Structure 1
């Protein structure tokens, strides 16, 4: 009888041990799912609302933290500079405005998330330009006009010239970065310029005679989130996690009732006045996650990028058509939005 009890106890103990051992991997697997591998990302931005509205929301709301992502933000003046920094190895991901998309088309970077879109451009003019309305854009002929090459500034310039029936050879074009544009307009060294926020606001604040004019060109000016092709190939999981967090943030801060919240984060990041920053919410249509999800299904997003590419072909910035799939990561967008 004693032998029987010893055997029964041994069997019971073995069963308990087996059950415990079986439970360990299951528990470990659950823990792994709950806590993704932590990663630190160096993210490039420009000091404007368009660049920061979603990423700052994601950071403040803890969406990136939920994905195990810690973000370090680095300020740049324009998209081409950001891409150069990525190529140099100091930046992982970046936000770009419209102009730098031509570098994506040329294979220097890949787009993994859209951010916003607008279909008008703006020019800031001084009285010396003889331009008082969009009907007078032809008066830019022979005038000194500042722009930043490779950016949305150059795209806007090309759009204005097309509207006016002019070419780049008809104006006295001055290529400079946006910070120098502020000084050039303040001193009257140039007659007009094509800038973007926050530099546009600085120019208007520094010169009471400056006027900003908005004109339609049937263009599609997109902003997007990008990485290098090599980074996309090696870090699909990180891009997926970043995108999931980003889309949560976009869903929240794309809503007009939440703009004040997003502007507050932007103003704090860039040490600016909140009221002055609020005007930038009118710069574009801010995509929600649902906008992108629906746009991917009905072809709106791909149409935006196709029309954008055609603009660059028409302007001579891109030589020939490139399949969108070569540089726009539609599959990753769909996967991030499906979860």
Structure 2
């Protein structure tokens, strides 16, 4: 496989999980391309507007600290090769590889649908998580502003909301985030995987540079917005050497909370990640996968509840110890911001707040 400039995946093959046909590299994902002097360089980005009947997704997973989320977009132009959300594109008969980062879906009705849900008499507020599937501040947010509309609604209704992103575009909504933070209604996590801009371009080609993300954390902290750095994912022998450096850089910006997550490779992500390793790091691809498997019970991925977010074994213990020691030295703790669910004001469907 050959690297494609500006893209994370190096192929567009579709999994057979849903009995879908396999697409080869010269298949239909190249029906729209960016060209230079007539030569194919990379698939172009397209956006399809999607109009679902509901926008708030609920879960009962024991492994994540929230029970509801809003995903404004499907697919993500950031192109992070390790993204665990890639397999969701297979439901659309699209490739979890290149299609995931080039064939995007936007949900312009998100705020209206969320308003309708909040207006229901039986609705009970709890923090809404944004950025748990695909990034709410990927490049097309500049055009659609769906994330901003959702934040505006949360501020209007005094509803708690959390944001996770890899982009400094989050600062475009600093005015809203400041107001939400004053009312203990929000916190922001920014994911940083390395401090090397070259490595970042290979891993997450259209995400903000590590320096911009670190700087954005500082801006949020100085504005009074609770912010934490998420070292996610940690990739053995690729990014783990930056663990202490990321914590230190975040600490210098005033960040006092951090988390880390070991790489997960569900479904089609595993073969895509293997292709990426063989393309960019052929000298260590075997070592990387062997280390990952040693933490996942001999498999590329552990899909089981209760254990999928908790790698085990010697390597996992080492990473935990390194994180704990560095965080303690820098005075960094885990995110413990308690958001206020008691001030929620149910909206009416005409956009006016209820008097009751």
Q: TM-score, normalised by structure 1?
A: 0.30
Who wins on radius of gyration, i.e. which is larger? 1
Structure number with higher relative contact order (C-alpha < 8 Å, ≥ 6 residues apart): 1
